[in-house]
Structure 1
Amino acid sequence: MAGHSKFKNIMHRKGAQDKKRSSMFSKLSREITVAAKSGLPDPDMNPRLRLAVNAAKAQSMPKDNIQRAIDKAVGGDAENYEEIRYEGFGPGGVSLIVEALSDNRNRTATNVRTAFSKNGGNLGASGSVSHGFDRMGLIEYPGKAGDAETVFEAALEAGAEDVSSDEGHEIWTAQDALHEVAKALEPVLGEAETAKLAWRPQTMIVVDEATAASLLKLIDTLDDDDDVQTVWGNYEVPDDVMEKLG
């Protein structure tokens, strides 16, 4: 999920999510609730909640839904969600990291394991692939936020570590600088589409059409699970292959 094809790959993910907007809102609500429970229920005083709320707004989640998710945490009637990370290998030896928020570890583990096994992958042990990724902050803006030079200068001034611009802009930060950089960028570029901790692959695997088809099916299956929040991978799909797969 990097290089020239990254944003086409992201658009594939977003296209799939748009068809399941209610599921997407459910995932966003879950993150907001967990973030609100982890600190103060005020986005201005809770950096994680602020990022979660901004991500929800970027996906046009209604304000009432956002407030309801926060109120659940305040009212104490919210489920106790556990943050879980799964690691494994997809078709073509691609490394995948699956992040989940679950109120039932056994259910989530079974669903994730089944998704891997039925779609040409294998679920591995903790640490089996994460050593090939760097834990960093990721801030994403659409192309309309500004040209590459403008975004680069803004990111540099805000303290970012790396910037990649194509159809959109990726701004990478040190893990502990995410909130600070995201806040510093807002006056210049506006609210980001995404601002969260991410797993950045150290090396990429370019996949062919057959492998990409199986791999994207696996990722879609994982995305369909309400417990799964994000799937990270070290794959790159060439433009011509992505176009064939639609």
Structure 2
Amino acid sequence: MAGHSKWANIKHKKAAQDAKRGKVFTKIIKELMVAAKNGGSDPDSNPRLRQAISSAKAANMPNETIVRNVQKGAGELEGVNYEEISYEGFGPHGVAIMIEVMTDNKNRTVAEIRHLMTKYGGNLGENGSVSWMFERLGQIVIHDDTSEEDTLLEDILEAGANDFTKIESNYLISTDPTLSADVSEKLDKKGYNIISSSVEMVPKDVIEVEDSTSSKLIDLIENLEDHDDIQKIASNFEIVNRKD
């Protein structure tokens, strides 16, 4: 029975990973389509599409999937018409939340987001109510447990990035958002293992939230992240005094 239990756990973990990967692919596919729709199917003349393709490659999306959805977005193949919308609001503890959406039914989506915000002690705000608390940055994560930090710093500066932060054996590299795809490509050519490459809203300052009082806030963020129409979420909190 122990073997059966172990196998069940492995299957459950794999199912969760596959589901998460599926959600990541869905979000990237939407971004590919909207980027191509707004700026055309040529990544050389469409920086947003170039970044979306970089994100897709970092997520190991098959090339044929990338090409097909770029063609759909550009109108070369039939596809869904997605609308981009940003929402701003506050969660528990006054935490600022930015929500980026791509949807084919904005009335449904905003109603569902408002329901989640209210359910977990938050509320939607007016445009501009929290966006000033964030800045848009390119964010590239690489896995590297062999390079010297001086060598890595030299390589990322040469590639056009601004700075990096070490997180265990990974490095979070910050760039100008318009250069993120190019920096990612240059680091990839140097042999670095690109885990992810994207443009994110990064908080200028953070609010500290005690672990013991954070459950509603965490539930809100997790439920928003699980929503199919939500592409990205940014917030400005940090959990402190963790008990785990």
Settle same-fold status: TM greater than 0.5: yes
In the alignment, what sits opposite 1:34?
34
Task: Output the amino acid matched with 1:150.
Answer: T
CA distance in 2 between counterparts of 1:61 and 1:81 reads 20
Query: Which structure: larger Rg?
Result: 2
Equivalent residue in structure 2 for 1:220, among 215, 222, 236: 222
CA distance in 1 between counterparts of 2:60 and 2:182 reads 24
Note the alpha carbon deviations across 1:61-81, whole angstroms, 9 max, x for none. 344433332232243522222
TM-score computed with the length of structure 2 as normaliser: 0.81
2:107 is the alignment partner of 1:106: yes
CA distance in 2 between counterparts of 1:129 and 1:159 reads 29
Q: Is the 8 A contact 1:17 1:24 kept in 2?
A: no
Number of residues paired by the alignment?
A: 228
Dislocated runs of 4+, deviation >6 Å: none
Q: Is the 8 A contact 1:91 1:211 kept in 2?
A: no
Note the alpha carbon deviations across 1:187-224, whole angstroms, 9 max, x for none. 22546333222212111112112433222211111112
SS in 1 for 2:171: strand
Comparing 107-116 with 186-195, which one deviates more in the overlay?
A: 186-195
> Structure 1 residues 67 and 179 mapped into 2: Cα distance closer, same or farther (>3 Å)?
closer
Q: Is the 8 A contact 2:211 2:242 kept in 1?
A: no
TM-score computed with the length of structure 1 as normaliser: 0.80
> Structure 1 residues 150 and 43 mapped into 2: Cα distance closer, same or farther (>3 Å)?
same
In the alignment, what sits opposite 1:154?
155
Deviation, 1:42, is 4.2
Q: Is the 8 A contact 2:28 2:52 kept in 1?
A: yes
In structure 1, runs of 5+ residues without a counterpart are 1-14
Deviation, 1:18, is 5.0
Q: Is the 8 A contact 1:28 1:56 kept in 2?
A: yes
CA distance in 1 between counterparts of 2:56 and 2:89 reads 28
Task: Output the amino acid matched with 2:172.
Answer: E
Deviation, 1:149, is 3.1
CA distance in 2 between counterparts of 1:83 and 1:224 reads 18
Deviation, 1:122, is 1.4
In the alignment, what sits opposite 2:12?
none
CA distance in 1 between counterparts of 2:106 and 2:119 reads 20
Deviation, 1:117, is 0.7
Task: Output the amino acid matched with 1:105.
Answer: K
Task: Output the amino acid matched with 1:209.
Answer: D
Deviation, 1:98, is 0.8
In the alignment, what sits opposite 1:57?
57
Task: Output the amino acid matched with 2:150.
Answer: E
In the alignment, what sits opposite 1:142?
143
SS in 1 for 2:190: helix
Identity within the alignment, %:
40
Deviation, 1:229, is 0.6
> Structure 1 residues 177 and 123 mapped into 2: Cα distance closer, same or farther (>3 Å)?
same
SS in 2 for 1:23: helix
Note the alpha carbon deviations across 1:146-180, whole angstroms, 9 max, x for none. 45333322222223222211222111122333344
Name which structure has the greater RCO, CA cutoff 8 Å, separation 6+.
1
> Structure 1 residues 216 and 147 mapped into 2: Cα distance closer, same or farther (>3 Å)?
farther
SS in 2 for 1:185: helix
